[in-house]
Amino acid sequence: MSKKSLIIEQAALLFAEHSIESTSIEHITKKCGISKGAFYLHFKSKDDLILQIFDHFFKDIAGRFTAIESGALPATKKLRTYVITFFEVLEDKLPFISMYMRQQRTPNEELFALFTHYNSLIDEATKQLLITVYKQKIEGVTMDILVTLKGLIRGYSEHILLNRAAYNYDQLADTIVERLNIIIEHATLWFLEGDAISLPPCEAISFELISKEIVTQIENYQDNAFLHESLELLHTELNKQQASPALIAGMLANLQGEPPLQWLSFLIKNYKKSV
């Protein structure tokens, strides 16, 4: 784990346990075993740290969804795994999220912009998954099915946030997938129609975004020669005028199975420029 990731993980735990106001920079640095100078190398302030905690959370869930979509599971099991993963991540992050919701007093424009950005990217990963699972069954109504799935997940998420208990997420996933299957098979009215089964590249992804993420991961994987070299080769190839799709595919295959790198894989696979 990089020093930055360590600070994010430990700060999220401290904030959840003691609140944002009661947790000082000194508390965080002591918990991580670092100096204040090391903290300020990565974060401008406590507010910047909070923003980057959410950034870390969003990347985590988008990366996990991407790994499911491109993984070896049978298509029929991918959506179920997707739903279970969402609620497992929610459960894992719930202490911090609940604390933030209780303590936040005024709207945070930076956080809203961050949420909007990642929401569009996570929607893209989810649409790709739905197309993988249902194929021609959802042609023309992919966006409507996406909105329906998000509505089912959001409704149960709100219930879980407000009614804490030990929930069976396997059963919940089966319930949501069954509801969606019934809708796809029997619905006769659709509100959002006309989208093609072949979705256009995601406009929210830029080369600058990809390059920044690769540079970050190159630093994070300095102690892993295989992944470090793969990332450097990937970065070099993407910077070429005529990048080799075969080489890029090979480097992405090297990153497969490494959860922190699935977010990067998603960005490259959905980049609007054909590489």
Residue 257 to residue 193: CA distance in whole angstroms: 36
Residue 4 lies in a domain: yes
Does 8 share its domain with 115? Answer: no
Residue 48 lies in a domain: no
**Residue 275: predicted pLDDT:** 44
Q: What is the pLDDT along the chain (275 residues), one digit of tens a residue?
A: 578 888 999 999 999 998 888 999 999 999 999 999 999 988 999 889 999 998 888 888 888 887 787 778 898 899 999 999 999 988 888 888 888 877 765 557 888 888 888 888 888 888 888 998 999 999 899 999 999 999 999 999 999 888 888 899 999 999 999 999 999 999 999 998 876 554 455 566 788 888 988 998 888 888 889 999 999 999 999 888 888 888 898 898 888 778 778 888 888 877 754 44
Secondary structure element (H or E) that encloses residue 153, with its range:
helix 142-162
**Residue 272: predicted pLDDT:** 56
Residue 236 to residue 14: CA distance in whole angstroms: 39
| DSSP SS3 for 236 | helix
Closest CA to 209 of 256, 268, 122: 268
Does 172 share its domain with 148? Answer: yes
Does 7 share its domain with 85? Answer: no
Our count of domains for the chain comes to 3
Does 36 share its domain with 58? Answer: no
Which residues, listed in sequence order, are joined to residue 195 by a DSSP beta bridge? 140
Residue 193 lies in a domain: no
Cα-only R_g, the chain: 20
**Residue 162: predicted pLDDT:** 84
Report the residue count for the chain: 275
Is-contact 20 46, C-beta < 8 A? yes
**Residue 165: predicted pLDDT:** 83
| Six token digits for residue 252 | 């992405």
Q: What is the CATH number of the domain that holds 8?
A: 1.10.10.60
- Give, in order, the Cα–Cα distances in Å from 43 to each of 5, 38, 54, 93, 126: 11, 9, 14, 21, 31
Domain of 20 in residue numbering reads as 1-43
Residue 191 lies in a domain: no
DSSP for residue 6: H
Residue 74 to residue 78: CA distance in whole angstroms: 7
